[in-house]
Amino acid sequence: MTRSQTTAPRRVAILGVGLLGGSVALSIRRQHPDVQLIGLVRDRSKGDALVARGLIDDFADSVANVCRDCDVVVVATPVDRLADFVIQAAKHSPSDCLITDVGSTKVEIVATVAADSLARLKFVAAHPIAGSEKSGADFATATLFDGKPVVLTPDTATPADLLQRATDFWTSVGGQTVVMSASEHDVHLASTSHVPHLVSALVARMVQQPAGQLVGSGWRDITRVAAGDPEMWTAICAANRNAILSEMERFAEHFDALKTIVASDDDDALHQWLAQAKETKLEVENLEF
């Protein structure tokens, strides 16, 4: 039996068939056409539409009915409801089930799940760094995760073979896994995602009329993510408040230092500052991991 046969999932539950859950479904199907995909969907007409589109094969409106007989459960709800669903899924899934998630913050969920002895041994927390300012299964694609980092944040009790299965699973949907602690993850993401998101939203908020008619492609790109779902981002900020506040503090200090440079008439210093920003930008985009 080859390794891919060993690790091919047979029946996968998707709790929350939105942009991310739907994209996980499409990516698994691309790799494993025979997999059975079961969605947790409360609304029957929405479920029928998802089946008609081929995202899922079947759906049910209770975690118990969805998770029964599954070998993998992917929890793709908003972050403030992830841990509850993981714990419920652990209760209603087979003993050898792998449960993973797509949440943008990890400390809170890992800690909550760790308090549940059953869930703790089935769960490998994951954050695929892929998404869009758009929400909903309509925007799901089979390629969303291709080449994207997927951070796995096991806790000290996570069985090694379960971590390996999670690695295989996320690799099979196209991602490139990287393992770190939940707190490292949350600190890093505050700086690469959460505070940049707030800054983007602030740039968007600050435009006043009639200046709004003069925005160019720079402003449009800087503020793209500001069109994201306020509910989702409120939950992310709530779940990673401390790391975000520290990073905001650091941002404010750096912004103040920049203001001093701009005010100083020292154009060499400003040039150097901008050149350093450009260099970091280009370096980061060429990083391999």
Only one of the segments 8-16, 63-71, 158-166, 224-232 lies at the binding site for a second copy (rule: CB under 8 A); that segment is 224-232
Torsion region of 23: left, alpha or beta (phi above 0 gives left; psi -120 to 50 gives alpha): alpha
Q: Is 221 in the site for a second copy (CB under 8 A)?
A: yes
Nearer to a second copy, 34 or 265 (CB): 265
Only one of the segments 39-47, 61-69, 91-99, 212-220 lies at the binding site for a second copy (rule: CB under 8 A); that segment is 212-220
Give Rg (Cα) of the chain. Answer: 21
Only one of the segments 5-13, 37-45, 46-54, 231-239 lies at the binding site for a second copy (rule: CB under 8 A); that segment is 231-239
**Contacts of a second copy in 83-142 (CB under 8 A):** 129-132
Q: Is 283 in the site for a second copy (CB under 8 A)?
A: yes
User: In b/e form, how buried is each residue of 5-39, taking b as 16+ CB within 10 angstroms?
Assistant: eebbbebbbbbbbbbbbbbbbbbbbebbeebbbbb
Q: Is 262 in the site for a second copy (CB under 8 A)?
A: yes
Q: Which residues partner with 74 through β-bridges?
A: 14, 100
How far is 178 from 75, CA to CA, in rounded Å? Answer: 19
Minimal distance, residue 149 CB to a second copy, in Å = 6
Only one of the segments 15-23, 30-38, 113-121, 191-199 lies at the binding site for a second copy (rule: CB under 8 A); that segment is 191-199
214 by DSSP, 3-state: which? Answer: helix
How far is 57 from 246, CA to CA, in rounded Å? Answer: 44
Nearer to a second copy, 48 or 253 (CB): 253
Q: Is 160 in the site for a second copy (CB under 8 A)?
A: no
